[in-house]
Amino acid sequence: MRTAVLVEPNEFELEDRPRPSPGPDDVLVAVRDVGICGSDVHYYEHGRIGDYVVEDPLVLGHESAGEVVEVGENVTHHEPGDRVALEPGVPCRRCAHCKRGDYHLCEKVTFMATPPHDGAFTEYVSWPADFAYTLPESVSTAEGALCEPLSVGIHACRRGSVGTGDTVLITGAGPIGLMVLEAARAAGATDVILTDVVEEKLEFAKERGADLTVDVTETDLDAAVAEYTDGVGADVVVEASGAEPSIKSTIDVVRRGGTVVLVGLASEAEVPIDVLELIDNEVDVHGSFRYKNTYDAAVDLLADGEVDVEGIIDFESELEDIDDAFRRAMEPTVVKGMISLDS
């Protein structure tokens, strides 16, 4: 099978690898669509993300969907021909985190495209059947692949308890910020504000239903939010950029008694925060790491037409053109690139 392998920073090689066989509890999936995530780009450029270092050739790609071509002997809920989205993190199922239901916090998780585990920029993937989610006919495999970033948005909104009538502020209008926008609307938010530093991304967010967009290089965010909310502030602030100024701004624009959810990964581990302001305003601050129990909801939302994920796709490329696709994905105005494999 054809496989794109990251062999050096900024260099893929196409290899022919043996097609895997499914284990007794696995499905063998012919990969159809894989999204290019920001983490993929970071590994491509730098060969590492924090403590995760690419020391050996690595297959990237963790936003994936395809068609089941073979099932293991114990698999009863999938059959060849099923189109499925693959949840990329498989936990140990035995640790304290898994047993309490927080399987996304499992420290022994196997996560696609996180060293040393290979991802989905390949023709076939064998994956545990219970982490493969059947797609109805109305949902494409491109949409199925983007259940992954949509899941990040769903989980962030759950962490912030976004509900009917809420005003939600999202910092960062990249793929995750836009997926938080979709999830927040589906959860009942009536007003959604997005910020960014790239005007084209803000215009795109406006087209996708943001009620207010703020270019923080030109406009004082605190003043803009105060004016929009009659001085109250946002009920929930979701930080999706990882930019230090945006992280610091969250406690200035959230209302008293409101909630801040941190999703974006900062380049520095420590960011100064006014703790007295947090206490005085009784602000809840939550981290949001990946997701849990979101894929069924993501598929249902897509099937019901409640969210749009295909609209964020800027381009599709073939596996053979993956180097060019990654260079294109690095352009500041690009939101999402996809690798599409032959059916």
Q: What is the pLDDT of residues 174-227, one digit of tens each?
A: 999 999 999 999 999 999 999 999 999 999 999 999 999 999 999 999 999 999
| CATH code of domain 2-146+309-340 | 3.90.180.10
Phi and psi dihedrals of 300, rounded to 5?
-65, -45
Radius of gyration (Cα) for the chain, nearest Å?
Answer: 20
Enter the tokens of residue 242: 């990882």
**Best CA proximity match to 176, nearest among 265, 65, 303, 43:** 265
pLDDT mean across residues, the chain = 97
Please report, to the nearest 10 degrees, the dihedral formed by the alpha carbons of residues 105, 312, 240, 204 taken in order. -170
Q: What's the mean pLDDT in 143-156?
A: 98
Candidates 124, 122, 137; CA nearest to 29 is 124
For the chain, percent of residues with pLDDT exceeding 90? 95
Give the tens place of pLDDT for each residue, 260-318. Answer: 999 998 877 789 999 999 999 999 999 999 999 999 999 999 999 999 999 999 999 99
- Can you tell me the mean pLDDT for 114-141? 98
Q: How many Cα atoms within 13 Å fall on the side-chain side of residue 77?
A: 10
The pair of three-digit structure tokens given for residue 78, joined into one six-digit string:
């999938």
Residue 116's pLDDT band (boundaries 50, 70, 90)?
Answer: very high
CB 234 within 8 A of CB 225: yes
Architecture of the CATH domain 153-287:
3-Layer(aba) Sandwich (3.40)
Give residue 343's pLDDT. Answer: 54
The residue extents of the domains of the chain are 2-146+309-340, 153-287
- Average pLDDT, integer, range 66-86: 98
